[in-house]
Homo-oligomer: A and B are copies of this chain.
């Protein structure tokens, strides 16, 4: 139940991030809704395919598609939600941060629930979290956030390790999930706010 709620929250913020990115790329209304839906459902589909859950839960339960469609369509209503170009970029990054936090957490938990060993659970969680955003950026011909945003993969891995450790130590799962999501989101938001930059490898 907690998992479903967190999952649907993740779907909602990823749909928003996808739709805003599509608006920024000047796609038409259908393109905005389609990219919102793909971004929102992508991570969950990848997770379920990796875990052998077919057809993916994300496609089988109507709530996922409903949330993704409504949020993406709502993002097209001009005056209400579309901010000026300068604020659009930041809004995408913030929505993406929450989506990453929620999907890494639920992805890791879903993998543990079907008996995946710790390393696999962490990797499936991280892939599930970055999957939707990578798909969104590739479809818009942009280099994915995870590759040129410093401090993106790192908090995702930390959150996945926290969920896996909590599970191994028998901690109660709901607080651990919430703490892991909060950890990932806050580090990402801090990185966006302070514009942290990782060192770049030098070339001779």
Q: Are B139 and A147 in contact (CB under 8 A)?
A: yes
Q: Interface digits, A1-34 against B, CB 8 Å rule (1 contact, 0 not)?
A: 0000000000000000000001101111111111
The residue on B at minimum CB distance from A200 is B28
Residues of A participating in the B interface, judged by any CB pair closer than 8 Å: 22-23, 25-35, 45, 49-52, 54-56, 59-62, 65, 75-76, 78-79, 82-85, 88, 111, 116-117, 119-120, 123-124, 127, 134, 138-144, 146-148, 150-154, 197-204
Known contacts A117-B60, A138-B138: A151-B204 contact under CB 8 Å = no
Q: Are A200 and B29 in contact (CB under 8 A)?
A: yes
Q: Are A201 and B76 in contact (CB under 8 A)?
A: yes
Which chain B residues lie closer than 8 Å to A56 at the CB level?
50, 120
In the assembly, what is the distance between CA of A52 and CA of B33, in Å?
27
Known contacts A50-B59, A56-B50, A143-B140: A202-B30 contact under CB 8 Å = no
The residue on B at minimum CB distance from A118 is B62
Which among B22, B34, B50 is the interface contact of A153 at CB below 8 angstroms?
B34
Q: Are B141 and A26 in contact (CB under 8 A)?
A: no
Which among B59, B111, B153 is the interface contact of A123 at CB below 8 angstroms?
B59
In the assembly, what is the distance between CA of A79 and CA of B50, in Å?
38
Q: Are A30 and B65 in contact (CB under 8 A)?
A: no
Which chain B residues lie closer than 8 Å to A85 at the CB level?
203
